[in-house]
Amino acid sequence: MSRRVLFLSAVGALALGGCATIPQPLQGNYPPVSLDAARSGTASARVRWGGKIIETQPREQQTCFFVLAEPLDSQARPESDGDSLGRFVACKQGFYDPEVFAKGRELTVTGTLDGTLQHKIGEFDYTYPKVEADNVYLWPRRPLYVQRPYDPWGPWGPCDPFWSPWGCGWGYGPWSYPPRVIVVPRQPPPPPPPPKKG
């Protein structure tokens, strides 16, 4: 990636970071509670955790989300390149469609710690800290960035006579003419159905 693209990306990140806000359902003050502390018996603490969905399990009166935990950024969104912190499970009253809350989607929850839950990972019994969730926030999919290869003679390239009647102009190669980055927006997911009563 060229220095120009890196510079523009950094400027964009700073601009977005300056106006980052936490979505209203996730706002509030939450003391830092690690998964290890929760697993060892911290009870009734309020937490705001997030990560990528591993599995969504609808049950009789609630839905449980098994999540690969990640650090949260300034918006309370899981960091896409963050290191995993472990796993937790969050359960909330009502039905949430596993096709919408699908594996790999980013999720942030707020709620109260409620002990632990044993669940197998393959043949291994894993102890999940359990959250009784009062808010479950499914993040929209991140934009897909596609970088086109450098082609000075391609359409709209610096050597395209229709683009530049002066030929290739100054400099050659990707350091002079960085490849274009195309942002492909993704459609937001449909809103989840209202929780079933009873």
Q: Are residues 82 and 42 in the same domain?
A: yes
**Nearest partner of 79 among 66, 89, 68, 90, judged by Cα:** 68
User: Does 120 map to a domain?
Assistant: yes
pLDDT tens by residue, 136-190: 999 999 887 666 665 555 555 555 555 555 555 544 454 455 555 666 565 555 5
Token match 């806000």: residue?
21
Q: Are residues 78 and 147 in the same domain?
A: no
Domain residues for the domain of 101 are 24-138
User: Does 3 map to a domain?
Assistant: no
CB atoms within 10 A of CB 125: 9
Q: CA-CA distance, 143 to 107, in Å (whole number)?
A: 16
- Total count of domains within the chain: 2
Q: CA-CA distance, 164 to 182, in Å (whole number)?
A: 22
What's the whole-model pTM score? Answer: 0.67
Structure tokens at 12: 């964009």
Q: Are residues 127 and 154 in the same domain?
A: no
Question: What is the CATH number for 44?
Answer: 2.40.50.140
Q: Are residues 59 and 116 in the same domain?
A: yes
pLDDT tens by residue, 4-41: 444 445 445 444 444 579 999 999 999 899 998 898 87
Give the torsion through C-alpha atoms of 7, 13, 14, 16, to 10 deg. Answer: 140
